[in-house]
Structure 1
Amino acid sequence: MERFDGITLEILWSNLIATVTEQARALQRIAFSPIVREAGDLATALFDRRGRMVAQAVTGTPGHINSLGMAGQHFVKAFPPDTLSPGDVLITNDPWLSAGHFFDITVMTPVFRGGRCIGFFGSTIHHTDIGGYGVGAGARDVHEEGLWIPLAKLYEAGRPNALLHDIIRRNVRTPEHVAGDLAAQVAAGRVGAERLNTLCDRQGLDDIEALSAAVLERSEQATRESIRKLRAGTFQGASVFDVPGGQKITLRCAVTVDPAAGEMTIDFAGSSPEAPIGINVVLNYTAAYANFAVRACLDPDLPNNWGSLRPVKVVAPEGCIVNCRYPAPVNARHVVGMYVPFPVLKALHQVMPDRVVAEGSGAVWTIQIQGRDEEGRPFTSSMFNYSGGMGARRDKPGLDATCYPTGVAAVPVEVLEAAMPIEFTRKELRPGSGGAGRQRGGDGQVIGYRMRTRDPWLLNVVASRTEVGPEGLEGGAPGQAGRFLVNGKPVNEARKMLMQPQDDVLMETPGGGGYGPA
């Protein structure tokens, strides 16, 4: 294997990060969907010939980027690099192979140099619509939730797969938006491929095999060294929260630290079983957020790639809510998946108490609206979301209205009002909703809106923590639970609701837990 000195490797690494970040920026500029363009609900990454994630962009959500990293292996197994041709583009939204629900479509663009595939640029984004039930949790099995795209070629030798394109367009409510976002993913992959070839030209590289090996080897060794500094043992953590419909979910985990091997195992045995509604989580997505919690505490400055993820193993009993079996419904999998870091952080608090945060509001509250405007024209909103307060840190208060752990931004109300007939009546912080403590938890927010329609309309709101607020840590007080009101009356519904014109909707998102006694 070719060896790079430290300076050369740092220069090449900086170029790789710049390349995948440019891919992400191009995707955000071109995308049709506001949740991609404005909120940054996406992931982009570079993979080597073996489907190993080498580098990710500086933007993106943990659920997307780490699930995308696992999807690379499945693409390479189904489409070996030497069987591909220039102009091929690969696609899937298989929940168990990629990001956990149909809305997140993964596109992989092979990179060719001298007629040989040297790697891939991948992207995963949340699409406006995928047919079926919609964003909510009301479907009874995965087949009610929308269009399932298996591992396939979206383009073959530069020519679109006409049948697949037609199947996608005929199965979604907003074909122009979906087709536009797919085109944005393809274009962004081509941008990455061009930049990587330019980098190889400049550095005199025929491929990225040696560079990939060096980056992944160093990342893995650095992660193992960080784990070796921890004390050995098995540490327990648990988190309890309520989901749409009022069901209580328990996530339990045992984090086993093995300093001698430089490895860590996270086992979710004892967690709640699969749910009858679409809040179940595939293991890919569970591992994505569990790894995020570990990385945030262990060494946030390490590269996030196949090498650094390898020393951490995530397991869960098949059939539990964080390792669901086909055909469990999964469309609102984030409602449980975004709580995965909290039991992991509670376990890690026993190992490195100065690096964890108290429980926060957890999953973002997602909204999707369907109906007809005052002129009778049909519309389907893209999913948009609102966060509660972040849990307090040991030496700093929690952040207000911050999407932790997902990291997405809220779509500005002006953009939403321009895109559909919605009128926002309130959007402000919810003072005092964060838990008291030596450091206070972050406050949630209050969002009010109504629709300008002449006919009844459909509302999907996926709200959680409306009964059980986030726990404090080390004696900190819990944050306030959230409230979801329609015309002033509390609602706790997992399924689509039929709304009347001028119905008033008010959402008060939870506050974060405090840290330490007040």
Structure 2
Amino acid sequence: MTRDLTRIDAVELEILWSNLIGMVTERAKALQRIAFSPIVREAGDLAYALFDQRGRMVAQANTGTPGHINSLAFAGKHLAGLFTGKVEPGDVLITNDPWLSAGHFFDITTLTPIFNGAAVIGWVGSTIHHTDIGGYGIGAGARDVHEEGLWIPPLKLYERGVPNAVLHDIIRRNVRTPDAVFGDLAAQVSAGRTASEHLVALCERHGLADIEGLSDEILRRSEEATRAAIRKLTPGTYHGVSRFDVPGGEIITLKAAVTIDAEAGHIVVDFDGSSMQTTTGINVVLNYTHAYSTFAVRSCLNPELPNNSGSLAPIEVRAPLGSIINCEYPAPVNARHVVGMYVPMPILKALHQVMPDRVLAEGSGAVWTIQIQGKRSDGRAFTSSMFNYSGGMGARAGKPGPSATCYPTGVAAVPVEILEASMPIVFDRKELRRGSGGAGRMRGGDGQSIGFHMNTDQPWLLNAVPSRMEDGPEGIGGGEAGAPGRFLINGEPVSQARKLSMNPGDAVLLETPGGGGFGPKA
């Protein structure tokens, strides 16, 4: 019998909740420590969460990126729905379908069913950015999604504890760095199995046959708390617009209409009027748009509320089908973060009209991602993991913007020492761009300058997807704009979406944008 947890003592509920958060956070940190990919191990580009029998996200780890975390909520729901009644102990599910999970092939989701005896009592899942998935790479130059890499539909990676040999062979023959890819997959599988054991032990300690009653109560309280926060806002529809350039010089427009229904405790974010999908790989699937939209809204409402299916339920996100933030197959999507990480900006501009003290000015937006492929001087091939560099964060009402800090993703930069140890790259400089943040009552954060060259006598390939090189991030409430970025090769500015062929000795310089200022300068 499942206990009636609507009458549970508040102390026991807090103990159970703390155990769930502790379990997923511990497993997420273990996954991060043992991952092969530097962007997971060093930068924290991952998500980890627990789901109930019905595939509802109950608890997420206290680490990870918003784009992965809230996209994982959709991926877990999809996989649980597809495989309910079709799994056995030892099974592990997998997909990197962009439209079912986190928006591009590099982000692979695994989901492990948790059995208590013969019954599935929940699921535990993770999404991490893998080093390589074959195909074009992380850049924006592919012409459709099929050029971008290996597409893994929802399948079983393990069946009854045994590797799916056919799928493993397909993955191994389609990626450039199979040892790293399978090392990361092993980390995901291991984290899922251990979490399963911990959840079963928790249920046994508290006399629970499953977590459905506990899940119902956690999600109910989370949803009610979110609706209560929305009911305190002034109702109405508020508008925000952000415009920015992307590789190739194209200007992208994101328009957000935020409608607050205070009586119902409900918010609708509608992106009608935004740019349509493009021919380069910067298109965004709706899951990823939803992830960063809900993150922006919830961080202004009450960032202390649990992030789960309950707290996400009162926020509805709409975008026209075929738009750049709700793209249709077969649009290329591998560099979807270039646009996706700007999604919060027009939302924050709209919310500035309702809660001006809780928002921030525009920041640099998307991290500048770099991927390098080539051969060492001895002929051995290498493929770098994607590594990121952020610009300045927008200023806040009462604080300046942090420098070299990327909002909204929160992903860290891989240390230069790690990169230099893993491939023949030499960093010539890495320093703040002093004064690049926009002026204001509170100043925007500064960007940074990063210069490097390759220590090889072989030609090499560079995938770089910088943005905001025409106009810097806008200030808010009278604050001034931050400085735009610059991307230089041998001292010459470059703005191209395609993969670049480089020569030994070529010097690359990245100067990321500064954040916008907040309020008029005194």
TM > 0.5 fold call: yes
C-alpha distance in 2, partners of 1:216/1:77?
A: 19
**How far apart are the structure 1 equivalents of 2:456 and 2:379?**
8
**CA deviation after TM superposition for structure 1 residue 73, in Å:** 1.6
CA separation in 2, counterparts of 1:502 and 1:120? Answer: 50
Which residue does the alignment assign to 1:141? 144
Matched residue, 2:106: 103
| Offset of residue 7 of structure 1 | 1.2
- Displacement of 1:260 in angstroms is 1.1
- Give the match for residue 22 of structure 1: 26
1:68 is matched with 72
Mapped pair 1:50 → 2:54: yes
2:156 aligned residue: 153
- For 1:179 and 1:311, locate their aligned partners in 2 and report how far apart those are by CA, in whole Å: 38
- Equivalence for 1:11: 15
In the alignment, structure 1 residue 459 sits paired with structure 2 residue 465: no
The equivalent residue for 1:234 is 237
| Aligned match for 2:265, one of 262, 273, 277 | 262
What does the per-residue CA deviation read over 1:278-329, in whole Å, with 9 as the maximum and x for residues that have no partner? 0000000000000000011000000000000000000100000000000000
- Give the whole-Å Cα distance in 2 for the aligned partners of 1:199 and 1:29: 24
Q: 1:411 aligns with which of 409, 414, 434?
A: 414
Structure 2 regions of 5+ residues with no counterpart?
none
Q: Identify the residue that residue 442 of structure 2 maps to in structure 1.
A: 439
Q: Matches of 1:76 and 1:375 in 2, distance apart?
A: 47
Aligned equivalent of 1:120: 123
1:194 maps to 2:197: yes
Cα offset, 1:5, TM superposition: 2.0
Counterpart residue type for residue 453 of structure 2: R
Quick check: 1:351 aligned with 2:354?
yes
Question: Aligned equivalents of 1:369 and 1:2: distance in 2?
Answer: 53
- What RMSD in Å do the two structures reach over aligned CA positions? 0.7
**1:227 match: secondary structure:** helix
Once the 2 structures are TM-superposed, how far is the Cα of residue 245 of structure 1 from its aligned partner?
0.6
Q: Distance in 1 between matches of 2:454 and 2:137?
A: 19
Could you tell me whether the CA contact under 8 Å between 2:241 and 2:346 is conserved in 1? yes
Matched position secondary structure for 1:354: coil
Q: What is the CA-CA distance between 1:352 and the residue it aligns to?
A: 0.7
User: Is it true that 1:486 corresponds to 2:489 in the alignment?
Assistant: yes
Give the superposition deviation at 1:272. 0.3
Q: Secondary structure at the match of 2:5?
A: coil
Q: 2:314 maps to which residue?
A: 311
Letter in 1 for 2:359: V
User: Hey, what's the Cα distance between the residues in 2 that align with 1:334 and 1:473?
Assistant: 23
Indicate the residue corresponding to 2:388 in structure 1: 385
Name the residue aligned to 2:292.
Answer: 289
Show CA shifts across 1:362-418 (max 9, x none). Answer: 000000000001111100000000000000000100000002100011000000000
Quote how far apart the aligned CAs of 1:468 are.
1.4
Q: Report what 2:513 is aligned to.
A: 510
Query: Which residue type is aligned with residue 466 of structure 1?
Result: M
Residues 240-271 of structure 1, C-alpha deviations (whole Å, 9 max, x = no match): 00001110000001000001111000000000
State the match for 1:224 in structure 2: 227
SS of the residue aligned with 1:83? Answer: coil
**Which segment is superposed worse, 203-212 or 309-318?**
203-212
1:364 aligns with 2:382: no
CA distance in 2, matches of 1:354, 1:391: 13
1:435-469 alpha-carbon deviations (Å, 9 max, x no partner): 00000000000000000111110000110001110
Please tell me the residue identity of whatever aligns with 2:372.
I
CA distance in structure 2 between the partners assigned to 1:84 and 1:225 by the alignment: 39
3-state DSSP of counterpart to 1:222: helix
Specify the code of the residue in structure 2 equivalent to 1:435: G
Query: Deviation of residue 197 (structure 1)?
Result: 1.6
Q: Over residues 59-82 of structure 1, what are the superposed CA-to-partner deviations in whole Å (9 max), with x where a residue is unaligned? A: 0000000000011221122101x3
Q: Residue 317 of structure 2: SS of its match in structure 1?
A: strand
Give secondary structure in 2 for the equivalent of 1:112: strand
Deviations 1:12-68 (A, max 9, x none): 111100000011011111110000000000000000010000000000000000000
Amino acid at match of 1:56: Q
How big is the shift at 1:434? 0.1
| Structure-1 residue corresponding to 2:83 | 79
Give 2:520's aligned amino acid.
P
Unaligned runs of 5+ in 1: none
| Corresponding residue SS for 1:182 | helix
Task: Report what 1:397 is aligned to.
Answer: 400
**1:35 aligned residue:** 39
Q: Deviations over 1:490-512 (max 9, x none)?
A: 01111110000011100000000
Tell me by how many angstroms 1:8 deviates.
Answer: 1.1
Query: Structure 1 CA distance, aligned partners of 2:185 and 2:117?
Result: 27
Looking at structure 2, the residues matched to 443 and 139 of structure 1 have their Cα atoms a distance apart, in angstroms, of 32
- Provide the identity percentage: 72
Residue 340 of structure 1: aligned partner: 343
Residue 247 of structure 2 corresponds to which residue in structure 1?
A: 244
Aligned partner of 1:182 among 162, 180, 185: 185
8 Å Cα contact 2:363-2:406 kept in structure 1: no
Q: Distance in 1 between matches of 2:64 and 2:45?
A: 6
| Matches of 1:161 and 1:363, distance apart in 2 | 36
Deviations 1:168-208 (A, max 9, x none): 01000001100110111000111211111221122221111
Helix, strand or coil for the counterpart of 2:453? Answer: strand
Q: 2:218 aligns with which of 210, 215, 234?
A: 215
Secondary structure, counterpart of 1:265 in structure 2: strand
Q: What is the CA distance between 1:83 and its match in structure 2?
A: 2.6
- Distance in 2 separating the partners of 1:182 and 1:188: 10
The corresponding residue for 1:272 is 275
* 8 A Cα contact 2:134 2:174, kept in partner: yes
DSSP-derived class of the 2:357 partner: helix
TM-score normalised over the length of structure 1: 0.99
Rounded to whole Å, the distance in 2 between the matches of 1:340 and 1:491 is: 25
For 2:458 and 2:79, the matched residues in 1 are separated by: 45
| SS of aligned partner of 1:355 | coil
Separation in structure 1 between the aligned mates of residue 110 and residue 27 of structure 2, nearest angstrom: 13
Distance 2:106 2:154 in 1: 15
Distance 2:436 2:502 in 1: 28
CA distance in 1, matches of 2:9, 2:269: 35
Q: Secondary structure at the match of 2:80?
A: helix
The alignment partner of 1:110 has SS state of strand
Shift, 1:162, TM fit: 0.4
